[in-house]
């Protein structure tokens, strides 16, 4: 079983899912900066910020590993076992919401910014996505360069994790590793902290509206 961190508080319970891990580096461009490490670093910052504010936090992973071991006899490929394992973890967490953290990639080096994904016909996840995206936009668009295009909207997505989980949740693509400017920022602790603070503020304003 993965290490589960739980704090007993009156705050909402949040599951943080740092994407990839172990042999799965995520989106990489043949250098030292791996998506899996960016995801985990932001997740740890977010976890610490949320705990300070009284939230109970669980993380699907806290080290450099995938979670395919949660379903050793599950789906046929490691990748599917990993994604199914994350959904299982979330569904057994008794959490109020989850946030899965990833880094995006595309062909165009001028494309930057964050995209928060939610599933269609899920108003709570949409509200969470909007709340997080609004905060992220103030961070990711801070230093625009000429010719750059910034993503700044929420989107629906048919991802396994969103379709097979039973609490409100989103997948946050925090930036583009294919943008030299996003990449430079995502390599620094100070920017990772700003991203974590934005996600935390988004969760706070979402949970403030919960019954
Ligand atoms: Zn990813």
Mean pLDDT within 16-20: 97
pLDDT tens profile 198-207: 999 999 999 9
- Expressed in angstroms and rounded, the spacing between residue 171 Cα and the centre of ligand 1 is 9
Contact between 140 and 113 under an 8 Å Cβ cutoff? The reply is yes
pLDDT average, residue stretch 188-205: 97
Q: How far is the CA of 147 from the centre of ligand 1 (A)?
A: 26
> Coil, strand, or helix at residue 20?
coil
Using the predicted structure, report yes or no on whether residue 10 has a pLDDT greater than 70. no
Q: Name the residue ranges covered by the structural domains of the chain.
A: 13-208
β-pair type (169-176, 115-118): antiparallel
Fold of 13-208: Aminopeptidase (3.40.630)
Q: How far away, in angstroms, is 76 Cα from ligand 1 center?
A: 20
Over the stretch 151-182, which tens digit does the pLDDT of each residue have?
A: 999 999 999 999 999 999 999 999 999 999 99
Looking at residues 78-104, what average pLDDT do you find? Answer: 96
Report whether 122 contacts 170 (CB < 8 A). no
Q: Using pLDDT thresholds of 50, 70 and 90, give the confidence band for residue 11.
A: confident
Distance 78 CA to ligand 1 centre (A): 15
* Residues 6+ positions from 48 with CB-CB distance below 8 Å: none
- Averaged pLDDT, 121-129: 96
Q: What is the dihedral of CA 145, 147, 148, 151, to 10 degrees?
A: 130
């Amino acid at each position: 079983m993965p290490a589960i961190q739980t704090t007993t508080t009156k705050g909402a319970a949040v599951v943080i899912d740092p994407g990839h891990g172990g042999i799965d580096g995520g989106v990489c461009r043949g250098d030292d900066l791996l998506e899996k490490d960016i995801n985990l670093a932001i997740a740890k910052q977010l976890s610490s910020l949320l705990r300070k504010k009284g939230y109970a936090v669980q993380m699907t992973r806290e080290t450099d590993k995938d979670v395919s071991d949660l379903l050793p006899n599950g789906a046929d490929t490691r990748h599917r076992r990993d994604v199914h394992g994350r959904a299982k973890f979330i569904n057994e967490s008794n959490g109020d919401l989850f946030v899965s953290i990833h880094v995006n990639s595309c062909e165009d080096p001028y494309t930057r910014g964050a995209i928060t994904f939610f599933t269609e016909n899920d108003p709570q996840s949409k509200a969470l996505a909007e709340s997080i995206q609004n905060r992220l936009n103030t961070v990711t668009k801070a230093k625009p360069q000429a010719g750059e295009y910034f993503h700044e909207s929420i989107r629906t997505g048919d991802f396994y994790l969103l379709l097979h989980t039973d609490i409100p949740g989103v997948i946050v693509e925090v930036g583009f590793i294919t943008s030299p400017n996003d990449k430079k920022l995502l390599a620094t602790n100070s920017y990772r902290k700003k991203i974590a603070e934005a996600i935390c503020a988004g969760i706070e304003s979402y949970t403030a509206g919960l019954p």
